[in-house]
Structures are given as C-alpha cells and as structure tokens.
Amino acid sequence: MDDALALELGAPILASAPCVSVRADGAKIHIGSRCGQLFDRRRERCDGRGILGDERLRHRGMVQAHGTVRPRTGSPSRRC
C-alpha cells in the first residue's frame, strides 16, 4: 500500500524500511574487498540515527539482516 494512502485511510503501520542496502552482510570471511560492506553498514547506521536519534539507535534499536552466503573454499559442504 502506498504510504500516503495508508495514512489517509488510517491503516495501522507496524514497521517501515526507509532504505535497503546490498553488500551490507557484516563481518565474514570471503575473497575480495570488504570496503563496500563497511560503507553500506555505516550509511545504514547514519540513516537510522537521523530517523530515531542516537539514544534509541544505541539502546532501544534493533537491526535485522538477511542475506545469502557463498560457501568458503574448502568448507565441509564443498568437499562432498
């Protein structure tokens, strides 16, 4: 549902996602540079701080992440 329509109709809003990132998987072991991950994670924290404020972000905030994993070379799942 469109945001403006939800507000106009008085629909309950349970959550929102103001921005979505790729390459923000967090710390992991893989081949290649982690530079993109670190910049995306920092951008997300800055966006959250702008919306919620520093106090809520640090003490009452929650970050939920979901992603796919590329198996490491030589991991047990790759030895079959």
**Extents of the domains making up the chain:** 21-61
Close Cβ partners of 37 (under 8 Å, ≥ 6 residues apart):
23, 24, 25, 26
**For the residues 12-27, what does the mean pLDDT come to?**
67
Q: Are 37 and 25 in contact (CB under 8 A)?
A: yes
**7 three-class SS:** helix
More confident residue, 80 or 69: 69
Is residue 8 very low, low, confident or very high in pLDDT (cuts 50, 70, 90)?
A: very high
How far is the C-alpha of 44 from the C-alpha of 62, rounded, in Å? 12
**For the residues 23-51, what does the mean pLDDT come to?**
62
Confidence at residue 31, expressed as pLDDT on a 0 to 100 scale: 52
